[in-house]
Structure 1
Amino acid sequence: MRDFEKPGRSAVFAANGVCATSHPLAAGAAVDILKAGGNAADAALAAAAVLGVAEPHMCALGGDCFVLIKPAGTETVHALNGSGRAPAAAMAEKLRAEGHSTVPLNAPAAVTIPGAVDAFCALSEKHGRMELGQVFGAAIRYAEEGIPVAPRVARDWAAQSDHLQGAARDLHLPGGKAPKAGQLFRAPGQAEVLRRIAREGRTGFYEGEVAEDFATTLQGLGGWHTMEDFAATSCDWGDPISSTYNGFELLEHAPNGQGATAMLILNILSHFDLAAMDPLGPERAHIEAEATKLGYDARNRFLADADHCTRLAHMLAPETATNLAALIDPARAMADPARLSEAVHRDTVYLTVVDRDRMAVSFIYSIYHPFGSGIASQKYGIMMQNRGAGFTLEEGHANEMAPGKRPMHTIIPAMLRHEGRLVMPFGVMGGAYQACGHAHFLTNLLDYGMAPQAAIDAPRAFPEEGMLNLESTYPEATAAALAERGHKVQPAPDPIGGAQAIWMHDSGVLEAASDPRKDGCAIGY
């Protein structure tokens, strides 16, 4: 139990249904759908649509999503890959010939075809109860009438909008300035596009005027994108991948996401007695940082589009974790793994919903970097992701940019099962941090016995670009001891990531947790 004399938040307990997101109005929209007779799939889509208006620097209809869903009445989990592909004319050699060693972040070359909307429609058709017009109702209203900008959103908006260009700048910087907390933000073009999707399904987005708006805008900036690229977009249903840790089964989305990285980190950590270490002490932080470095090195070498990912079994093999764990010196930090050219970011939204019939949805949605590519479609003002920056330009690499190929993705939804029963959908936001975040959250839960909210609240560390970023809530003695071990310790430049989780108790009660690093909350009924 938390100390009620200290700042913090309680978990949200509910019996019928609950949603946890990074924005309270999105969570509220989801619960409204549940109360109106919709299920968790409908509610997740309602929340995602609102988040596209409420957190436009994080997600948009021009982005991608991944979903794990457990339908009511079964413990089987299905995976939905809503990530888009490079256009048919995309070629790494073209960019290398122009002198690029990495995919330029704020140029059409980084814009992959958005896959989220196709996944929205597929999820609704296969598992939803309501018409999309009703599901998108709150988002359409907020886009037209305006949504108050939340405090964390305002902070990030002001700090992360320098690369906005053209229509994106006009829409998101009214009067040339980022909106302040409490100021209303409107996106009428987005409302119109949502109406078209509700009316016409995926055709309303990937064909006709909306697709033409995307293609024309990108071609005008020198992009490779065509109407045919948009029309060919298709999401994929599949099965999650799984591994075990401390008697629990972790379910992650298969590549092109980085869920396998979280599994590898946990497999490495299983060789150490974390439970005997101080959860805020240097021993634990050091071992987790070293395991993370090794896990991300494997990620950078092996993970890619599923059609090109040939070493997944090796990456998840027990002997691989055993051999990597043996490389960790408990007293000394190792050098960072070789860096490739795929970019990193910290902007994503994650939400989870469980309904009264115990359908559970784990849903993650992103445009990659803050405000994506910085490019919006000229007519409707839909932001475009720069997920193509997740490709490498290294010739012959599994994740090399190529026509019609999906890049390696950082965004990963997850679920946890125990003895065959789903006990928790969860996710951790934070770009590259997410795999490390999944491992850290689960060790908080399963090694240290923390409740979900406490496990989310706990301090975070992340080794990145040669530095070990520590949140300010770590003890000073821990930071000093880590420096003595050879880590280049620095205060985290921003709060590290965000998270949401819903624990499904045997009693039928739902316990939802939401990260205080964001504006969001959990709401149940």
Structure 2
Amino acid sequence: MNNIMPMGHQGMVASPHYMASTVGSFVLREGGNAFDAAVAVSATLAVVYPHMTGIGGDSFFLMYSAKDRKVIGLNGSGRSGREVSSSLFKDKGLSRIPDRGVLSAITVPGMVDAWWEAWTRFGRLPWDKLIAPAIQYAEQGFPVSRDLYRWMCKDEQWIREDKTLKEVFMDGGRLKSEGSRLVQSELAATLRLLMKEGRDAFYKGPFMEAMVLAIRADGGLLTEEDFLSHRSNWVEPLSTTYKGDRIYQMPPNSQGFSLLLMMNILEHFDLAGIPRDSAAFYHLMVEVVKKAFQYRDRYLTDPDFAHIPVDQLLSKDFARQLSEQISLTPMEASPFLSSPMGQDTAYAAVVDDEGNAVSFIQSLYYDFGSAYVPEGTGVILQNRGSFFSLDAEHPNALLPNKRTFHTLMPGMVLRGEKPYLLLGTQGGEGQPQTQLSILTGVLDYGCTIQEAIALPRWVYGRTWGQASDSLKMENRNLQSAAEKLMQWGHRVELVSGWDGIVGQAQGICIDTNGVMYGAADPRGDGLAIGW
């Protein structure tokens, strides 16, 4: 079940929805650069992939500037409100932050500001040209895709409970069907305001005031001051080497460093000598994941509130020590218990003919985020803040003006100081694991980017809604491998051969001759376009 892998010399766009990829391609052909196209793709995804992302959510951008010859990071995640506290929730008789509803929407949406920052620093086309396609899809509608309909069915309860969601996603008391036209008039009006007035329309002025007024009227906690003070941060990406290539990830509060730690550990194993479909491969991958996640969960939070020993965690000597703790003879599973993670995310990548490259990812956290829309805005607010802990001793403890542990992690690999791979995926716990699968597929097993994305994948841990801390494997003739893994002590669940639980990945590979190869995940609605 491999998609066609397009090739090109002039540009490449890969996103989880074919309409967004088409918009990115159009922007590049109209003279825009990769940064322009990334903003336009991101805005379009906020409309046509409303279950996974939206302007009420966050985004992270990992960018290679050909002019500057360097990789640059933009952290577009929002902070908790200044009135938010653990005691406030405990006084309401709550032992944890609600997963849904207005009380789960306690962080400022950061994505709109991230668009503005990326565009003002690197963009070339006028702002309105980048937002216009998203407005068109919101005003005129688009067909409900297979993936959107599946999630609408899953979340029908939440859709029915919110006035705006019910009006948008239901017709005559029933969910809109796959292929039916989905119009988002209120969201279109909000986007039109952003197109006219820029990011300030979202973070200051009458629209913001009306949005906050609606949130407060519904019992929410965000204030005008929270929106007025929000800014994205330009950051220095983290990196490590792996067999001569340099792999880049976003720094904390992103979980990206966990993937770098995994790759450092894997350097101590002859991975190419282990068959990709063997039980030994999956055993090694899961044990590496467990080692990295233990340290991710121990430290990851907003670095403005706690020291995170990133240099130590990413040192080659530390990885060697961890590799020596992994048992291959005999094969034996180690224990680990993970926290449940959300999985709604949209990843996309763009490369232009000047050598610029943008690897970016955006999310509402859970599917349909908080499942709450401030009346009159059309904006589904994220529930990213629900991942904060009410335990004051927890590394990710809830405090005012704090960014939470973030699952979003766009990836990039440089070879010979130029972009070689751009990759990322949907999923919470699954994001570093899917990147691990793709990277080893390309760098160790000689796969193309499309072949690597199509390989059978796994996800270890508890994605949102899953009670078991298990290893879930796509079952493509892997029954015997699963049986061996269970004998070695792993708790294994075989899922369908192309299961959505392992997320939806996209990627671009650029070879040494400058040929771009684009790939979209056959598990979703994505498309890669190149020329």
* Range class of TM-score, shorter chain: over 0.9
Partner residue, 2:321? 323
Equivalent residues in 2 for 1:266-285, closer than 5 Å: 266-285=263-282
Is residue 138 of structure 2 the alignment partner of residue 143 of structure 1?
yes
Q: 1:507 aligns with which of 505, 513, 525?
A: 513
Q: 1:479 aligns with which of 462, 478, 482?
A: 482
Identity %: 34
Partner residue, 1:443? 440
Letter matched to residue 283 of structure 1: A
Paired with 2:199 and 2:94, the residues of 1 have a C-alpha distance of: 35
Is residue 450 of structure 2 the alignment partner of residue 453 of structure 1?
yes
* Number of residue equivalences: 516
Are the equivalent residues in 2 in contact too, given 1:90–1:109 (CA < 8 A)? no
Paired with 1:256 and 1:173, the residues of 2 have a C-alpha distance of: 36
Change in 2 beyond 3 A, CA 1:321/1:483 = same
List runs of 5+ in structure 1 lacking aligned partners: 1-6
Is residue 351 of structure 2 the alignment partner of residue 354 of structure 1?
yes
Are the equivalent residues in 2 in contact too, given 1:20–1:522 (CA < 8 A)? yes
Paired with 1:46 and 1:474, the residues of 2 have a C-alpha distance of: 40
List runs of 5+ in structure 2 lacking aligned partners: 463-468
Change in 2 beyond 3 A, CA 1:173/1:309 = farther
Paired with 2:267 and 2:156, the residues of 1 have a C-alpha distance of: 41
Paired with 1:70 and 1:231, the residues of 2 have a C-alpha distance of: 30
Is residue 50 of structure 2 the alignment partner of residue 52 of structure 1?
no
Partner residue, 1:157? 152
Partner residue, 1:173? 170
Paired with 2:277 and 2:517, the residues of 1 have a C-alpha distance of: 25
TM-score normalised according to structure 2 size: 0.94
Are the equivalent residues in 2 in contact too, given 1:15–1:510 (CA < 8 A)? yes
Partner residue, 2:466? none
Q: Which moved more, 1:501-510 or 1:102-111?
A: 102-111
What secondary structure is seen at the aligned counterpart in 2 of 1:299?
Answer: helix
Q: Which moved more, 1:513-522 or 1:462-471?
A: 462-471
Paired with 2:157 and 2:284, the residues of 1 have a C-alpha distance of: 37
Letter matched to residue 347 of structure 2: Y
**Root-mean-square deviation (CA), in Å?**
1.6
Partner residue, 1:89? 83
1:181 Cα deviation after fit = 1.7
Is residue 7 of structure 2 the alignment partner of residue 13 of structure 1?
yes
Is residue 253 of structure 2 the alignment partner of residue 256 of structure 1?
yes
Are the equivalent residues in 2 in contact too, given 1:39–1:129 (CA < 8 A)? yes
Is residue 384 of structure 2 the alignment partner of residue 387 of structure 1?
yes
Equivalent residues in 2 for 1:43-82, closer than 5 Å: 43-82=37-76
Q: 2:524 aligns with which of 513, 518, 525?
A: 518
1:474 Cα deviation after fit = 4.8
What secondary structure is seen at the aligned counterpart in 2 of 1:19?
Answer: strand
1:167 Cα deviation after fit = 2.2
Equivalent residues in 2 for 1:325-340, closer than 5 Å: 325-330=323-328, 331-337=331-337, 339=338
Q: Which moved more, 1:126-135 or 1:370-379?
A: 126-135
Is residue 218 of structure 2 the alignment partner of residue 224 of structure 1?
no
Change in 2 beyond 3 A, CA 1:75/1:174 = farther
Partner residue, 2:491? 488
Q: 1:234 aligns with which of 205, 228, 231?
A: 231
What secondary structure is seen at the aligned counterpart in 2 of 1:237?
Answer: strand
Letter matched to residue 155 of structure 2: Q
Change in 2 beyond 3 A, CA 1:102/1:320 = farther
1:451 Cα deviation after fit = 0.9
TM-score normalised according to structure 1 size: 0.95
Paired with 2:359 and 2:348, the residues of 1 have a C-alpha distance of: 6
Letter matched to residue 4 of structure 2: S
Partner residue, 1:304? 301
Partner residue, 2:286? 289
1:305 Cα deviation after fit = 0.8
What secondary structure is seen at the aligned counterpart in 1 of 2:341?
Answer: coil
1:309 Cα deviation after fit = 4.2
Paired with 2:527 and 2:476, the residues of 1 have a C-alpha distance of: 21
Are the equivalent residues in 1 in contact too, given 2:82–2:401 (CA < 8 A)? yes
Are the equivalent residues in 2 in contact too, given 1:170–1:176 (CA < 8 A)? no
Are the equivalent residues in 1 in contact too, given 2:40–2:130 (CA < 8 A)? yes
